[in-house]
Structure 1
Amino acid sequence: MSPLEAVAVLLAGVAAGTINAVVGSGTLITFPTLLALGVPPLTANVSNSLGLVPGSVAGAVGYRRELAGQRTRMRRLLLVSAPAGALGALLLLVLPAGAFEAVVPFLIALGIVLVIVQPRLSAWVAARERARGRDGGDGAWWLPFAAFASGVYGGYFGAAQGVILMAVLGIGISDALQRLNALKNVLVAVVNGIAGILFVVVAGLDLFGTQAEVDWLLVLLIGVGAVIGGFLGAAVGRRLPPLLLRATIVVVGTAALVVLLT
Structure 2
Amino acid sequence: MSWWQGLLGFTAGLLIAVVTAPVGVSGAVFLLPVQLSVLQVPNPAVTPTNLLFNVVATPGALLRYRRRGHLGGPLTRLLVLGTLPGVVIGALVRVFLLPGAQVFRLLVACLLLPLGLWLCVRAVRPPHRHSAPDDPSPGAVTALALAVGVVGGMYGIGGGSLLGPILVGRGLPVATVAPAALASTFLTSIAGALTYAVLALTTPGDIAPDWTLGLLCGLGGLVGGYLGAHLQPRLPETGLRLLLGTLAIALATLYAVQALT
Scaled to the shorter chain, the TM-score interval is 0.7 to 0.9
Q: Which whole-Å CA distance do the structure 1 matches of 2:174 and 2:245 have between them?
A: 14
Q: Which whole-Å CA distance do the structure 2 matches of 1:123 and 1:144 have between them?
A: 28
Please state if 1:120 is matched with 2:127: yes
Q: Which of 109, 113, 118 lines up with 1:109 in the alignment? A: 113
CA contact (8 A) 1:86 1:194 kept: yes
**1:181-192 alignment to 2 at 5 Å?**
181-192=178-189
Tell me by how many angstroms 1:78 deviates. 0.9
What per-residue deviation string (whole Å, max 9, x for no partner) do you get for residues 51-75 of structure 1?
3322122222222356638511211
Unaligned 5+ runs, structure 1: 130-135
**1:1-262 alignment to 2 at 5 Å?**
1-23=1-23, 24=25, 25-29=27-31, 31-33=33-35, 35-64=37-66, 68=70, 71-98=73-100, 99=103, 101-115=105-119, 116-117=121-122, 119-120=126-127, 126=133, 129=134, 136=135, 139=137, 141-158=139-156, 161-172=159-170, 174-203=171-200, 206-262=201-257
Task: Label 1:252 to 1:236 Cα distance change in 2 as closer, same or farther (>3 A).
Answer: farther
Tell me by how many angstroms 1:79 deviates. 0.6
CA contact (8 A) 1:57 1:189 kept: yes
Secondary structure in structure 2 of the residue aligned to 1:142? helix
Could you state the TM-score of these two structures normalised by the residue count of structure 1? 0.79
CA contact (8 A) 1:146 1:168 kept: no
What per-residue deviation string (whole Å, max 9, x for no partner) do you get for residues 106-132 of structure 1?
333333343424843898892xx4xxx
Task: Label 1:47 to 1:35 Cα distance change in 2 as closer, same or farther (>3 A).
Answer: same
CA contact (8 A) 2:47 2:156 kept: no
Q: Which whole-Å CA distance do the structure 1 matches of 2:10 and 2:71 have between them?
A: 35
What per-residue deviation string (whole Å, max 9, x for no partner) do you get for residues 6-55 of structure 1?
22222222224334413544443355346434432323332232133221
Secondary structure in structure 2 of the residue aligned to 1:18? helix
Aligned structure 1 segments of 4 or more residues deviating by more than 6 angstroms: 121-125
Which residue identity is paired with 1:164? Answer: L
Secondary structure in structure 2 of the residue aligned to 1:63? helix
What per-residue deviation string (whole Å, max 9, x for no partner) do you get for residues 160-203 of structure 1?
9544222221134x432232122221122222221111112222
CA contact (8 A) 1:51 1:222 kept: yes
Q: Which whole-Å CA distance do the structure 1 matches of 2:69 and 2:148 have between them?
A: 20
Task: Label 1:125 to 1:223 Cα distance change in 2 as closer, same or farther (>3 A).
Answer: same
Unaligned 5+ runs, structure 2: none
